[in-house]
DNA sequence: GTTGAGCGTT
């Protein structure tokens, strides 16, 4: 049983797929199998790999034969530290044929699709089976930083264009990847212009279907990949009330009473205004004292 | 030897 994922999906008709996220890039299906097989009959373990490098992409799919066993594996293994990383185990939602999976279970194909190929045809209204749609908006950011650097960034006038949409890559960029049939559907389903952003999406958090109520997973979001300098400035402005904290001001005040007006003219006006404003208290207190 | 917020192979 060491050839998981080598020969395609064996028999996925009545299996229940779990998505295992955050595994180490060196973790293999053979590593995961004994771990998951303790909780039930695992019929398949598949770790998608990068097509260029052949490396793991950091997640895996474990298919169970029975739903209760899969659920037990979710309960027991979600949050477990495997090979130094805290894995996340949850029911797969999208599946190789996205519509045919529900609650981890790969549903029987509704009908033999004509052409016997796996529905490359566009699905007109994809996944509105339940009200969890909003999670899907976050979905296509699978590429890692290395992937992004593999492709040369547009230069010259295209650089502005590229930078302006640094949040979501252009369709051309995604097309370059040639990920396959699913990306075609998904890329089309989320409209090309990124101004989708539904205004009233409810207050529910779109991510992480909260299989386990506890949120012990540290949100290690990297602030260094903030979208744009403007956004960063906005964020800093919104959450820097401490830069005006009285203690910090007293630290940086340093009145230097020998300052003359000629010195002020040499200063930039903004600096002048700032210093003046800062020194207001000092001046008033000084006048009050003397 | 590295990466990391993410849903799938013949």
- Å from A115 (CA) to B6 (C1')? 32
Tokens of A156: 């010259």
Mean pLDDT computed over A230-258: 40
Residue length of chain A: 290
Q: What is the pLDDT of residue A22?
A: 94
Are A16 and A105 contacting, i.e. CB atoms less than 8 angstroms apart? yes
Q: What is the pLDDT of residue A53?
A: 83
The protein footprint on chain B, as nucleotides within 7 A of a CB, is 2-10
Q: Is pLDDT larger for residue A18 or for residue A247?
A: A18
H or E, element range at A20:
strand A16-21
Share of chain A above pLDDT 90, in %: 24
**Any atom of strand B under 7 A from CB of A23?**
yes
- Å from A111 (CA) to B10 (C1')? 21
Spatial distance between the Cα atoms of A62 and A280, rounded to a whole number of angstroms: 67
Sequence-ordered list of residues with C-beta below 8 angstroms from that of A137, at least 6 positions apart, any chain: A190, A196, A198, A206
Q: What is the pLDDT of residue A216?
A: 38
**Whether residue A92 has pLDDT greater than 70:** yes
Q: A160: exposed, middle or buried (C-beta count within 10 Å: 0-12, 13-18, 19+)?
A: exposed
**Residues 139-178, chain A, CB closer than 7 Å to nucleic strand B:** 139-142, 144-146
Place A108 in a pLDDT band, splitting at 50, 70 and 90: low
- Paired strand residues for A90: A19
- Å from A131 (CA) to B6 (C1')? 21
**Residue pLDDT, tens place only, A196-208:** 333 333 333 333 3
- Å from A50 (CA) to B3 (C1')? 12
**Whether residue A111 has pLDDT greater than 80:** no
**Residue pLDDT, tens place only, A38-68:** 999 999 999 999 888 888 999 999 999 999 9
CA angle A230, A236, A240 (to 5 degrees): 155
Tokens of A263: 């010195």
pTM of the model: 0.46
**Residues 171-200, chain A, CB closer than 7 Å to nucleic strand B:** 180, 182
**Whether residue A86 has pLDDT greater than 70:** yes
Neighbours of A263 (CB within 10 A): 11
- Å from A59 (CA) to B7 (C1')? 9
**Whether residue A181 has pLDDT greater than 50:** no
């Amino acid at each position: 049983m060491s050839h998981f994922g080598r020969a395609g999906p064996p028999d996925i008709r009545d299996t229940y797929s779990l998505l295992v996220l955050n595994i180490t890039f060196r973790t293999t299906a053979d590593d995961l199998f004994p771990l998951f097989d303790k909780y039930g009959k695992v019929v398949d373990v598949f770790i998608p790999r990068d097509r260029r490098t052949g490396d793991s992409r950091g997640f895996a799919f474990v298919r169970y034969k029975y739903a209760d066993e899969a659920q037990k594996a979710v309960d027991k293994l979600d949050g477990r530290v495997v090979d130094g990383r805290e894995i996340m185990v949850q029911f797969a939602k999208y599946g190789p044929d996205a519509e045919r999976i529900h609650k981890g279970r790969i549903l029987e194909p509704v009908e033999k699709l004509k052409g016997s190929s796996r529905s490359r045809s566009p699905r007109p209204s994809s996944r509105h089976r339940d009200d969890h749609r909003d999670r899907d908006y976050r979905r296509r950011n699978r590429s890692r930083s290395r992937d992004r650097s593999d492709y040369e960034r547009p230069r010259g006038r295209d650089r502005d264009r590229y930078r302006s949409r640094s949040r979501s890559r252009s369709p051309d960029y995604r097309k370059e990847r040639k990920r396959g049939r699913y990306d075609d559907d998904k890329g089309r389903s989320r409209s090309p212009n990124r101004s989708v952003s539904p205004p009233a999406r409810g207050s529910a958090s779109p991510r992480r279907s909260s299989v386990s109520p506890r949120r012990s997973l540290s949100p290690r979001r990297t602030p260094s990949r903030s979208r744009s300098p403007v956004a960063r400035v906005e964020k800093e402005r919104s959450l820097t009330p401490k830069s005006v904290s009285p203690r910090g001001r007293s630290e940086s005040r340093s009145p230097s009473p020998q300052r003359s007006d000629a010195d002020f003219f040499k200063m930039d006006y903004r600096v002048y205004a700032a210093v003046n404003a800062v020194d207001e208290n000092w001046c008033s207190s000084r006048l009050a004292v003397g």
